[in-house]
Amino acid sequence: MKPDNGTIKKSIVREYVESIVTALLLALLIRAFVIQAFKIPSGSMIPTLLVGDHILVKKFSYGIQIPFTDKKILVFNSPQRGEVVVFKFPEDTSRDFIKRVIAREGDVVEIKQKKLYVNGTPQTEPYTQYVDTTGTTSAVPRDNLGPITVPKGKLFVMGDNRDQSYDSRFWGFVDISLVKGEALIIYWSWDKDINRVRFKRLGRLVK
């Protein structure tokens, strides 16, 4: 006995629904535990990241976060100095920030006339830029800070665009539990000033 047209149509509809639901679940799982897209909204990370860059963030770099909590499991690594990370802004956890890890727990941070020292050692930072052309380096805490010691379970972070970044110099430390992942790669970049794709930036690793 051949199935009627109604049964065939119901079977096709069911297959479509199951495929869509499966795809949505996989997308949610990937976003929650593996990779998440992030758009650069400000110039605080210039020249490393430009406004309009779209990046992928590795969410499993520092463990897998349990949904609806700040707890993580399978934590094998922690953020290291020099890595670019996305995290929940400590003063408003509904917002995501992206900065570079400058120091970890126990490290001593000091800034003297814009020069960064970690544990007393001057740091070489080829990825930074300074745009203040007034010639002054007396601003506190932007150009002069510390020494301060990073507390346990915290990070000290800064933007690469040092004169125009709102970061740990101003609002303090980031709890490691707020870190969502490590910036991985630029997959899209749009220059809104000239309405053009920045093709040379596509596929560039964030480092």
Look up the CATH number of the domain holding residue 108: 2.10.109.10
Residues 140 and 188 in one domain: yes
- Is 59 annotated as catalytic? no
- Is 115 annotated as catalytic? no
Residues 27 and 93 in one domain: no
Does 101 fall in a domain?
Answer: yes
* Structure confidence at residue 139 (pLDDT): 86
Annotated catalytic residue: which of 44, 165, 168, 189? 44
Backbone conformation region of residue 48, classed left if phi is above 0, alpha if psi is from -120 to 50, else beta: alpha
Measured distance CA(204)–CA(207) in Å, rounded: 9
Residues 40 and 28 in one domain: no
- Residue 157: closest CA among 144, 169, 145: 169
What is the domain count for the chain?
Answer: 2
Residues 110 and 89 in one domain: yes
Residue 53: both structure tokens together = 């860059």
Place of tokens 């605080």: 44
Instruction: Return per-residue pLDDT of the chain as tens, 207 residues.
Output: 555 665 655 566 666 565 565 555 554 544 555 688 999 999 999 999 999 999 999 887 776 666 656 666 556 678 999 999 999 999 999 999 999 999 999 999 999 999 999 999 999 999 999 998 787 788 889 999 989 999 999 999 999 999 999 999 999 999 998 999 999 999 999 999 999 999 999 999 999
Residues 179 and 86 in one domain: yes
Residues 104 and 145 in one domain: yes
User: Is 125:116 a contact under the CB 8 Å cutoff?
Assistant: yes
Q: Which domain holds residue 24?
A: 1-33
- Residue 167: closest CA among 91, 53, 80, 105: 91
* Structure confidence at residue 56 (pLDDT): 94
The number of residues in the chain equals 207
Whole-model pTM: value is: 0.80
Does 2 fall in a domain?
Answer: yes
Measured distance CA(9)–CA(29) in Å, rounded: 30
Residues 4 and 43 in one domain: no
* Structure confidence at residue 170 (pLDDT): 97
Does 206 fall in a domain?
Answer: no
Annotated catalytic residue: which of 59, 99, 154, 180? 99
Question: Hey, what amino acid is at 129?
Answer: Q
Q: Please report which helix (H) or strand (E) contains residue 21, including its range.
A: helix 5-33
